[in-house]
Amino acid sequence: MKALRLEEANAPLQLQELPVPKPGEDEVLVRVAGCGVCHTDIGFWRDGVPTRHGIPLTLGHEISGVVTAAGAAYRDWVGREVIVPSVIPCGQCDLCRAGRGNACRKQKMPGNDMDGGFADYIAVPGLGLCPVETRNGYDLAELSVIADAVTTPYQAAVRSGLSAGDLAIVVGAGGVGGYAVQVAAALGARVVALDVDDARLEAIAPHGASLTLNSEANDFKTLKKEIVGAAKAWGCPPNGWKIFECSGHPAGQETAFGLLGYAGVLMVVGFTLAKIELRLSNLMAFDATVQGTWGCRPELYPEALRLVTEGRITLKPFIERHPLAEGAEILRRVADHEVHKRAILEPAA
């Protein structure tokens, strides 16, 4: 089989011939239909972020495909279309039993703890596979992005307690943030999208954003005044706002924290190594909550998939498909901000 391999940080990825892996007793072999390109992959490749497995390694963790072989525990999955969770918990530890499987310390992440989905085949633990029973106009490859870009903000929305009629504010409306807008709208919230890029705001406006604001072109006082006015006009409560920081940028984090008010919830979805200065006493004064969220528990995948196949979240305007053979160049283009949609790499048929 062919696999796109990371041999050395910041060196071109190599398309290589490798043996097809054999699944263990608790594993399945998946023929990859598509694998989305995430900025985490760019971090491993270009920025030298260390992978837990070590290199050489096949990257890619947004995977959809068909189970073609399985160990004894998962034989009944052979022939089924699936989405592979981007974070696969062990299912047995204290964290898993407490419903915090996404924080499992024995978790397996394709393209990080093990070879990933930029390949014709991948062997993965069978635990947590999400069956695709209906696709409703989508090709299986297109559904690969559900494995991270959709499910990550879906878990954030669930854990925030977001419900119909709430005000949701998404800081950073591209990539995962764009899907956060759609998720919040699908759950019945009124959504404000903030970004520094007018093109991203224009793209998400028809897909769930009731109000879009450029956070670079407006000072903070103006942003907050606009949001307060919109919330009042929509009949949203003045308190208890749900804020989703998806930019992974210090300025975005500062804006998100500044918008946190009485009984508010801030979900930290984006990532940056940069530090910012905050007044944590705001949390006490406002009885507010700030919470991180990593990946998505496999138990939540079927509902996120259903939102897509029922048309309440749309993928097609925000994805583009490329052959796996062009993968090295596609990752370079993503890293250099030449690709503005979620790229999906597809093995040759």
Say what percent of the chain tops pLDDT 90: 96
Segment holding 66, helix H or strand E:
strand 62-70
The string of pLDDT tens digits covering residues 271-314 is 988 999 999 999 999 999 999 999 999 999 999 999 999 999 99
CB-based contacts of 179: which residues, under 8 Å, 6+ apart? 149, 150, 152, 153, 154, 313, 318
15 and 144 inside one domain: yes
Q: Are residues 186 and 279 in the same domain?
A: yes
Three-state DSSP at 60 gives: coil
Residues 184 and 171 in one domain: yes
140 and 6 within one domain: yes
In total, how many domains does the chain have? Answer: 2
200 and 220 together in one domain: yes
> Which two tokens mark 300?
């939540």
- Are residues 53 and 167 located together in one domain of the fold? no
Does the pTM surpass 0.75? The reply is: yes
220 and 105 within one domain:
no
User: Any idea what the CATH number is for the domain that residue 249 is in?
Assistant: 3.40.50.720
Helix (H, G, I), strand (E, B) or coil at 312: coil
- Domain of 116, CATH number, reads 3.90.180.10
- Paired tokens of 322: 């490329």
Domain region containing 102: 2-148+296-346
Name the one residue in this structure whose structure tokens are 């070590």.
54
Are 109 and 178 found together in one domain? no
Predicted confidence (pLDDT) per residue in 259-269, tens digit: 999 999 999 99
Tens digits of residue pLDDT in 302-339: 999 999 999 999 999 999 999 999 999 999 999 999 99
**Do 104 and 128 fall within a single domain?**
yes
What amino acid is encoded at 4 in this protein? L
- Amino acid found at 186: A
Average pLDDT (225-238) is 97
If asked whether residues 158 and 222 sit together in one domain, one would say yes
| Average pLDDT of the chain, as a whole number | 96
pLDDT reported for residue 104 = 95
